[in-house]
Structure 1
Amino acid sequence: MRIADLVGDNGRSVRQAAELLVRCSSHIPSGWHTLEEGLAEVRESLGPDRISRVALDENGDVLGWIGAIPSYRCHVWELHPLVVRPDRQRQGIGRALVADLEDLARERDADTIFVGTDDEDGRTALSGVHLYPDVLSWAAGFRNLRGHPFAFYRKCGFVVVGLIPDANGFGRPDILMAKRVTA
Structure 2
Amino acid sequence: MTTKSMTSIRIREADDGDAESISSLLMELGYELGPVEVKKRIGVYRESSDTVLVADEVGEVVGFVSFHVIPLFHASGNLGRITAMCIRSDRQRQGVGRALLAGLDGFARARGCGRIEVSSGDQRAQDAHLFYQACGYAIDSRRFQKMLH
Q: Same fold (TM over 0.5)?
A: yes
Specify every segment of 5 or more residues in structure 2 that has no aligned partner in the other structure, as ranges: 1-8
Separation of aligned partners in 2, 1:72 and 1:6? 23
Q: Which runs of 4+ in 1 moved over 6 A?
A: none
Match of 1:67 in 2: 66
Displacement of 1:40 in angstroms is: 2.3
Checking the alignment, whether the CA contact within 8 Å between 1:67 and 1:80 is kept in structure 2 is: yes
Alignment equivalent of 1:104, drawn from 103, 107, 113:
107
Give the CA RMSD over aligned residues: 2.2
Number of aligned residue pairs: 132
Superimposed CA distance per residue, residues 136-182 of structure 1 (whole angstroms, 9 cap, x where no aligned partner)? xxxxxxxxxxx2311111111111111236x599xxxxxxxxxxxxx
Q: Quick check: which one's helix share is greater?
A: 2
SS in 2 for 1:15: helix
Q: TM-score, normalised by structure 1?
A: 0.65
Separation of aligned partners in 2, 1:160 and 1:115? 10
* Aligned residues with identical type, % of pairs: 26
Superimposed CA distance per residue, residues 85-144 of structure 1 (whole angstroms, 9 cap, x where no aligned partner)? 00000000001101100111101111111001111x3x54xxxxxxxxxxxxxxxxxxxx
Separation of aligned partners in 2, 1:168 and 1:113? 22
Q: TM-score, normalised by structure 2?
A: 0.78
Checking the alignment, whether the CA contact within 8 Å between 1:84 and 1:94 is kept in structure 2 is: yes
Separation of aligned partners in 1, 2:39 and 2:141? 27
Which one has the largest radius of gyration? 1
Specify every segment of 5 or more residues in structure 1 that has no aligned partner in the other structure, as ranges: 27-31, 125-146, 170-183
SS in 2 for 1:67: strand
Structural mapping, 1:1-183, within 5 Å: 1-8=9-16, 10=17, 13-22=18-27, 24-26=28-30, 32-33=31-32, 35-36=33-34, 39-41=36-38, 43-47=40-44, 48-49=47-48, 50-58=50-58, 60-73=59-72, 75-119=78-122, 121=123, 124=125, 147-164=126-143
